[in-house]
Structure 1
Amino acid sequence: MREIVMCTTCKYSVTDKTGPDGRTGGETLIAHMRDAIAARGEAISVATQVCLWNCKRHCSVVLRDDERFTYFTGDHEPSREQADAILDWFAVHGETETGEVPFRQWPDRMRGHFIARIPPVRP
């Protein structure tokens, strides 16, 4: 199972809980993510979670995979460009055997966002 888990309560910016439209940064990034997935015509699951306990590095996103490494990321800008970069990285991740994506293949917008790498659960 592969899915993207996104925090609904992440702040919009360092100083503001919500953006100009009243949505949190997490809600805004989730909307951009769903639009980006629809535009690509892909079947990627997006799960939402109230608070991922990473408030100092909002917006938080978990790139989950039960066969490869899972990655916990943060400091994402709540924008369509960032949603596209997350999807681009996740696509390359899915093409690897272990989930280890060579740094040279990372979209520029994904550099500096990784917090933790979590190995898959093995039976």
Structure 2
Amino acid sequence: MRRIVFCITCRHSAEEREGPDGVTGGETLARHMEALLAERQRHDIAVDRQSCLWSCLKHCNVFLQDSERYSYLAGSFTPSRETAEAILAWFDLHGASATGEVSFKAWPQAMRGHFIARFPPART
């Protein structure tokens, strides 16, 4: 199972809770991701929303979850279409690897400096 979980209570920026449209940053970013996946007719990644990921020192937090590989928490994103594209590009590289480890050289520039934590896959 591969999914991207967006913290919908996350701030729009370090300074603002909501964007000009009155929507939180996490919800805005989730909507951008849903639109991107729909345009590309991608059904292999689920988009979920979570009320608070408990990483409130950052804003616009995203949990990149995979049941077979490492999962990652990242934050301090700008809630934009470009950010959604970078997250998806990185997550595709992640999915193409056996362990979920992506060479730093391959990371989209917009993903650098945003990772908070890495989590091992759940063992059954």
- TM-score w.r.t. length of structure 2: 0.96
Secondary structure, aligned partner of 2:57: helix
Distance in 2 of aligned mates of 1:80 and 1:24: 15
**Cα root mean square deviation, aligned:** 0.7
Q: Is the aligned partner of 1:26 residue 2:35? A: no
Q: Report the equivalent of 2:53.
A: 52
Per-residue deviation, residues 7-44 of structure 1 (Å, max 9, x unmatched): 00101111111111000111111111111111211112
Q: Is the aligned partner of 1:115 residue 2:119? A: no
**Given residue 29 of structure 1, which amino acid in structure 2 is its aligned partner?**
L
Structure 2: segments with no counterpart, 5+ residues = none
Instruction: After the TM superposition, list the runs of 4 or more consecutive aligned residues in structure 1 that deviate by more than 3 angstroms.
Output: none
Aligned-residue offset at 1:53:
1.1
Q: Report the equivalent of 2:15.
A: 15
Distance in 2 of aligned mates of 1:33 and 1:121: 25
Q: Report the equivalent of 1:92.
A: 93
Distance in 1 of aligned mates of 2:15 and 2:52: 18
Q: Is the aligned partner of 1:77 residue 2:82? A: no
Secondary structure, aligned partner of 1:78: coil
**Given residue 20 of structure 2, which amino acid in structure 1 is its aligned partner?**
P
Per-residue deviation, residues 30-61 of structure 1 (Å, max 9, x unmatched): 11111111121111200100011111111000
Secondary structure, aligned partner of 1:33: helix
Distance in 2 of aligned mates of 1:15 and 1:122: 39
Per-residue deviation, residues 65-123 of structure 1 (Å, max 9, x unmatched): 01000001111110000000000000010000000001111000000011111001122
**Given residue 73 of structure 1, which amino acid in structure 2 is its aligned partner?**
A
Distance in 1 of aligned mates of 2:14 and 2:119: 27
Secondary structure, aligned partner of 2:36: helix
Distance in 1 of aligned mates of 2:120 and 2:89: 21
